[in-house]
Amino acid sequence: MVHTSPLDQAGTGDAGGMNIYVCEAAQNMAAMGVQVDIFTRRTNTEVADVVEVAPGVRVIQLNVGPVSGVTKEQLPKLIPDLSAAFKDALVNTRYDIIHSHYWISGKVAMPVAKDLNIPLVHTMHTMARVKNLNLAEGETPEPMIRVQGETQVVAAADALIANTDAEAASLVSLYEACPDNVLVVSPGVNLKVFTPGGGRAAAREVVGLDKDSHIISFVGRIQPHKGPEVLIRAIAELVSHSPHLRAKLITNIIGGASGANQSEVERLKELTTWLGIDDVVRFAPPVPREELPQWYRASDLVCVPSYSESFGLVALEAQACGTPVVATAVGGLRTAVADGISGVLVDGHDPRAWSSVLARLLLEPQRRVLLSMGAIEHASHFGWDATSRGTLDIYDRVLTARAEQAKNIG
């Protein structure tokens, strides 16, 4: 059960790393012989009720609420109807496990799991309390209804899957999760798709960028929480401190507007103009997944300046392509990036601090080569195989515990 459709383009609207996570994990689990049905709310009239996206993986649309125009903020109102539709869809098939992703789906799945006596496994992906402790300037906090919903899901789930030890610790300390129910499974990256390929020069030819430029890229949804403004302001600092770098510098901001906030891209473009760095910052719409590796490969550095991140798939994808990552030292990014080995972690969001790290890396090509090798090595530890195997182990554990319970009661 997932609230955004895995059929949507990632990097736009509400579709991001989680959608990729659900699709990849499902396909890998199916390859291991497990039948996976992904339930989601219909957001597209053109799609059939049931779509087989890969052998053993079906996406099933629940016809609840208006097809288009429902923002993530409006979804909670649809939860009771989604639960009812989800339960209807489940009664004719015997499912062993319900696995919900993100709190909205967790709330949808909770009563269904209880009514049908199916164990519930939940993955948070992001948490309101963590996010609200790390807001970008001017960003609206997540509402209390979400915090309450998350708390309920934490209490109801048979098992909680955290992406990292840090996220597991937050579940225990901020949501009073019982430590025994919290298990850690790292997300993965598709190591067949995200590879160093033909290298930087070849990739630059493909995407049409000069081979001698310094290229820094941001990839993700354009929202304050992802921190694109931090990068833009750091670039302004950089060209003011090191004007000699300006002629060779290109900064790509790749991604679409997010959720309700359609004006953020325009605001950032205006900011760029106002800072006088239009010549070095380029905005691009989200790139289809098959073209993304070339953009990572073409970049000298990929920046992930998020305010919080339960994992940060972009960081892993870039590293798998051999590109060092500069990321904020928060949450899952600390696991996704090996500080000083596969990239550099920066404390906080001060543009001067970011610019000094970027300048140093641009001026040290040898260090970038070392980091690039470290990046490939580090990313190689995160395959979806391991994620799927870890997830199946947890299903197994939950089912065994249920069987034990039943035996003790019987």
Tokens of 28: 């890998």
Contact by Cβ (8 Å): 224, 138: yes
In the complex, the smallest distance separating the C-beta of residue 184 from its own copies, rounded to whole angstroms, is 7
In the complex, the smallest distance separating the C-beta of residue 395 from its own copies, rounded to whole angstroms, is 18
CA distance 51 to 251: 38
Judged by CB, which is closer to its own copies: 199, or 348? 348
In the complex, the smallest distance separating the C-beta of residue 256 from its own copies, rounded to whole angstroms, is 30
Closest listed residue to residue 160, CA positions, set 146, 141, 174, 142: 174
Judged by CB, which is closer to its own copies: 90, or 238? 238
Judged by CB, which is closer to its own copies: 90, or 346? 346
**Strand 57-62, strand 50-54: pairing:** antiparallel
Judged by CB, which is closer to its own copies: 204, or 378? 378
The contacts of residue 329 (CB under 8 Å, 6+ apart) are 339, 345, 346, 347
In the complex, the smallest distance separating the C-beta of residue 358 from its own copies, rounded to whole angstroms, is 10
CA distance 343 to 378: 10
What kind and span of H or E run contains 41? strand 36-41
What kind and span of H or E run contains 110? helix 102-116
CA distance 245 to 360: 11
List of residues contacting its own copies (CB under 8 A) = 164-166, 168-170, 172-173, 179, 182, 184, 186, 241-242, 329-331, 334-335, 338-341, 344-348, 350, 352-357, 359-360, 381
In the complex, the smallest distance separating the C-beta of residue 281 from its own copies, rounded to whole angstroms, is 20
In the complex, the smallest distance separating the C-beta of residue 371 from its own copies, rounded to whole angstroms, is 11
Judged by CB, which is closer to its own copies: 14, or 158? 158
Judged by CB, which is closer to its own copies: 46, or 347? 347
Judged by CB, which is closer to its own copies: 299, or 355? 355
In the complex, the smallest distance separating the C-beta of residue 372 from its own copies, rounded to whole angstroms, is 16
CA distance 109 to 132: 25
What kind and span of H or E run contains 182? strand 182-184
CA distance 287 to 281: 17
CA distance 41 to 39: 7
